[in-house]
Amino acid sequence: MKHSIKVCLGTSKYELKPIRLRVSFLSQRVDLNSGISYEEKNFKNGRAKNNTRNANRQTAVEVNLLLSKQIEVIDNYFIECDLQKRYPQPDELKRIFAEKFKTSVQNANVDVFSLFDTFIKKRESEKQLTMSCVINYIAVKRQLQAFNSKLTLRHIHDDFLNEIKAFFEEKQLKNRTIKHYLSMLNTFLMWLKQNKYLSIDIQPQNTVKIIKNDTQSYLTHSELKQFYEYKPENDTENLCKDLFLFAAFSGLRFSDLIRLKKIDIHLPTHFCVITKKTSTSIKVELNRYTREIAEKYFNINNEFLTTLFPTISIKHYNNTLHEIFKKCGVNSDVTITYYQGSNRVEVTKKKYEILSSHSARRTFVVECLSKGIPPLTVIRWTGHSNLETLRPYIAIADETKKKEMQKLDTDL
């Protein structure tokens, strides 16, 4: 059967364009998706130029070899039709091509949002997602709907995340938010591949430039004292104050703090915990403040409560903390710097607005280093993987010690 195959690039407003195999026969035309994308400047006459790569780090040799195999499969199909003396069928060609190269042609029209819902429900049922993570994934889904309300698997190719990244930048989202969304989308796309909806690896081509402002989100010694002396106005504020102080004097993350069991507490000396984030086993000695709080909640007569602290949502906890910090007078001006695309943006906020549950852990690190506790000892308490993660706080501690030394400049 006489036929022709044209290897060409599909249309896209981005640099990377999908490679299509256009098969023409009997006044019919069938477009087959190769599953590969390539930059137009590096693709000529149906072949990738030598010594080039695409976003998935496939070399020109690998791409051209795969294209040759795909052309061979198409040719063999027409030879078989000739031998069997029958006319080739477009749907049959698509099916054979898809089965051979495990492309998602057969799933091309599947709705992405229904799969996204399935993904969330499955991971939630397997207890791989907290409620806050579910809320974040729902926010990502809304962004996808804004990007393309009729999104199907046909629209997902190896430059998909770069298209989404450009969309987020056009909406002027903060780069930190963009990075977070892309990471969650990548997890979803990996799930699609594991469940055989997709056959290609999708990674962002360009990194997202961010500035970390974490080192501003901690309490100074005087601010910690103000917080400690605050008189709670209700039971919720009392719980939130105790939670924050326990973390600020032990270095626990909120996820570990709220899961801390009474059997983990070995009064009056220490407590042990396996961290949720890194599965690291740590032993933290109790001090005056953590021992006082542990004894207070350990003796609460509640046979149904196995954890040391009552349950509270992270959102409710953070909102209450903001109110307490505001009442305490933790309201100095801080400058927050972030990127929107390539634009550097600076905004001024009150400090209580940027503090959160994790500020307690940062406060603990700064307090320890400022008091001369060796960094190696600190990471044994916090469970950090290496000293590099403490570098920003070591700089803060050194500046704090310098200011304290200046107090000795006064006359005797």
Which of 358, 375, 384, 366 minimizes the C-alpha distance to 275? 384
A 10 A CB-CB count for 80 gives 13
Co-location of 98 and 117 in the same domain:
no
Estimate to the nearest angstrom the gap between the alpha carbon of 195 and the chain centroid. 21
Tokens of 342: 């390539």
Least confident interval from 19-28, 169-178, 261-270: 169-178
Co-location of 164 and 68 in the same domain:
no
Count up the domains in the chain and report the number. 3
Within-domain flag for 227: yes
Co-location of 99 and 155 in the same domain:
no
Residue where the block lists tokens 């997602």: 129
Co-location of 319 and 224 in the same domain:
yes
Burial class (CB in 10 A: 0-12, 13-18, 19+), 359: buried
For residue 109, the one-letter residue type is N
For residue 139, the one-letter residue type is A
Co-location of 130 and 86 in the same domain:
no
Co-location of 259 and 401 in the same domain:
yes
pTM for the whole thing?
0.61
Q: Where a domain ends, among 194, 222, 253?
A: 194
Domain of 347, in residue numbers: 214-408
Co-location of 117 and 167 in the same domain:
yes
Co-location of 133 and 225 in the same domain:
no
* 226: CB partners within 8 A, 6+ apart: 328, 329, 330
Helix (H, G, I), strand (E, B) or coil at 123: helix
Co-location of 24 and 160 in the same domain:
no
Co-location of 31 and 94 in the same domain:
yes
* Highest mean pLDDT of the ranges 19-28, 125-134, 237-246: 237-246
Determine the length of the chain. 412
- CATH number of the domain that residue 304 is part of: 1.10.443.10
CA angle 301, 302, 308 (to 5 degrees): 95
For residue 99, the model assigns a pLDDT of: 74
Within-domain flag for 248: yes
Co-location of 231 and 352 in the same domain:
yes
Tokens of 374: 């060796």
Average pLDDT (211-218) is: 68
For residue 384, the model assigns a pLDDT of: 83
% of the chain residues with pLDDT over 90: 40
Helix (H, G, I), strand (E, B) or coil at 364: helix
Q: Where a domain ends, among 44, 77, 103?
A: 103
Burial class (CB in 10 A: 0-12, 13-18, 19+), 172: exposed
Secondary structure (DSSP) of 166-217:
HHHHHTT--HHHHHHHHHHHHHHHHHHHHTTS--S----SSPPP----GGGS
